[in-house]
Amino acid sequence: MAEQVQMIDIYIMGKHYQVPEGLTILTALEYCGYRMIRGCGCRAGFCGACATVYNFKNDPQLRYDLACQKTVEQDMYLTQIPFFPAAKALYNLEELKPDGEQVLALYPDLEKCFGCNTCTKTCPQDLEVMWFMSDALRGDIREVANKSFDCVMCGLCAARCPQGLVPYNYALLCRRLYGHYLAPASKHLEDRIAEIEAGKFDAEIEELKRMDESELRRRYAQREIEPAY
């Protein structure tokens, strides 16, 4: 006899549904008939496209997560965040200087941050968002790059900021500045780029492109990992 699937109650845009226990928010939405054209992304927790706000029946506290990572729970109320415009400066990286004055020149609204820490509480990656905002204000680009390294730019910090700030865009600028101007050069990386440009891996890449997913997964699991330099 097949094992009986436990069903739980959820609410999508206020409408009641029953779904199998264990689904992610994203797969639960699709189980209920929602066709995910936007807000589905990579489905692996890397792209940040599926930012979601939810709470529970008789519990008004808002919670935040990525729909492809969070498992649905009993009496969960779900809503997808619609697109909202977020300020992003236009710049040519080659013309910038890697200092705090440059960051403030491109994003002067950064000075409006009053340290409420809502951004940190909202981040599904558990990043110290308010702290790298403080680092950006002090011009410590290296620390901003380090603290924001795992940012997937889901936009939840900006959606919840009472000052309308966009922490992920400030962090992106600092990571670009750090990578272009401040990060130590890697001889190993330079050698590998030269090998790629010379066509050393062309045949191997073509072979990989012809493989099915199962073989690609097997190769990935058995790959030889080079030592760090």
Structure tokens at 214: 């199962």
Beta-bridge mates of residue 77: 11, 55
Beta-bridge mates of residue 19: 8
Domain architecture of the chain: domains with CATH: 7-80 (3.10.20.740), 93-182 (1.10.1060.10), 197-221 (no CATH)
Instruction: Tell me the CA end-to-end span of the chain in Å, nearest whole number.
Output: 55
CA distance 87 to 186: 33
Amino acid at 145: A
Q: pLDDT tens, 33-49?
A: 988 887 788 888 888 88
Q: pLDDT tens, 111-139?
A: 999 999 999 999 989 999 999 999 999 99
H helices of 50-201, in order, are 100-106, 118-122, 129-138, 141-147, 156-160, 167-177, 187-197
CA angle 136, 139, 140 (to 5 degrees): 80
Share above pLDDT 90 across residues of the chain, in percent, rounded to a whole number: 66
Q: Return the pLDDT at 227.
A: 67
Mean pLDDT of the chain, nearest integer: 90
Q: pLDDT tens, 82-103?
A: 666 788 899 999 999 999 999 9
